[in-house]
Amino acid sequence: MDWKKILNLLFRLFIGLFLYSIGIVMTINSNLGLAPWDVFHQGLAVKTNMTIGQASILVGIVLVIINSFFKEKLGWGTLTNMIFIGLFIDVLMLNHMIPVFENYILSFIMMCSGMFIIGLASYYYMGAALGSGPRDGLMVVLTKKTKKSVRLIRNSIEVTVLIIGYFLGGYFGLGTIFMAVTIGFFVQLAFKLLKFDVASIEHRFIDEDIKWIKQRLMQKNKFKTEK
């Protein structure tokens, strides 16, 4: 892999992370109810006086530690997801860069648009093939350990964080139920329009890049020695 390709992948990754943050903020600002993980992030933010973005980063750090403990491989996409989505969310929300609509129809349209943008973001982010996000990593870890289906594990995680977030003070509404049921449709729609086959992605992990860098350095030193 050459440096130009690496830079292209990183550019694609950050485009995906930024679009993902836009999609999340659009669903939040629709004010119809938050997605399960965002209910948890908001509830945590309420109890700790953090921003939603900071709460997202904190949860991401904890999940990365848990996933690493169970030897789940980390990619650069995992670490950037952990940090930058939270940062981008705060930039967008604290600067009021995305409107909040009072009209129910406009709010509903914005929520649906936000989910589609999350699907579009997933195309860029996952297409970079630099590792899954911390929350997806948790799903993988629990699936491996329990031998249960991905669907059961994912649903169990989302129900759990939703309940905890609700009791912490996160906002649960009709939009929460709607997003839980339809987010897969919007992501699949974006993938279909972009002709993206997620099953074809082979992620590259940090340990592989460390080996690659070591090999390049050894080759460079060998070349200098021979000269």
Which of these ranges, 31-45, 100-114, 119-133, 197-211, has the smallest mean pLDDT?
197-211
Q: What is the arithmetic mean of pLDDT over 52-75? A: 92
Instruction: Supply the DSSP symbol for 130.
Output: S
More confident residue, 2 or 85: 85
pTM: 0.88
- Rounded to an integer, what is the distance from CA 3 to the centroid of its chain? 25
> Residue 158 has what pLDDT?
87
Please list, residue by residue across 177-210, b when 16 or more beta carbons sit within 10 angstroms of its beta carbon and e when fewer do: ebbbeebeebbeebbeeeebeeeeeeebbbeeee
Residue pLDDT, tens place only, 99-129: 998 899 999 999 999 999 999 998 998 888 8
Give the pair of three-digit tokens for residue 81: 């997801």
Task: Give the whole-angstrom CA distance, residue 50 versus residue 90.
Answer: 10
Q: What is the arithmetic mean of pLDDT over 45-59? A: 95
> Residue 225 has what pLDDT?
65
Instruction: Give residue for tokens 């086959």.
Output: 197
Helix spans in 49-173 (H): 52-69, 76-94, 104-127, 134-146, 150-168
> Residue 227 has what pLDDT?
58
Q: What share of the chain is helix, strand, coil (3-state, %, to 5)?
A: 80, 0, 20
More confident residue, 99 or 207: 99
Residue pLDDT, tens place only, 153-180: 888 898 899 999 999 999 999 999 999 8
pLDDT-based confidence at residue 226 (cuts at 50, 70, 90): low
Cβ contact 198:191 at 8 Å: yes
* Residue closest to 28 by CA, chosen among 128, 156, 175: 175
pLDDT-based confidence at residue 97 (cuts at 50, 70, 90): very high
> Residue 48 has what pLDDT?
94
> Residue 223 has what pLDDT?
64
Cβ contact 29:110 at 8 Å: yes
- Domain residue limits at 78: 3-226
SS3 assignment, position 51: coil
> Residue 131 has what pLDDT?
86
Mean residue pLDDT across the chain? 89
What's the residue count for the chain? Answer: 227
Instruction: Give residue for tokens 């579009």.
Output: 120
More confident residue, 25 or 219: 25
Task: Give the whole-angstrom CA distance, residue 169 versus residue 46.
Answer: 6
> Residue 124 has what pLDDT?
92
Q: What is the arithmetic mean of pLDDT over 57-62? A: 96
Residue pLDDT, tens place only, 134-158: 988 888 888 888 888 877 888 889 8
Q: What angle do CA 123, 107, 33 make, to 5 degrees?
A: 80
pLDDT-based confidence at residue 224 (cuts at 50, 70, 90): low
State what percent of residues in the chain have pLDDT above 90: 52
Domain count, the chain: 1
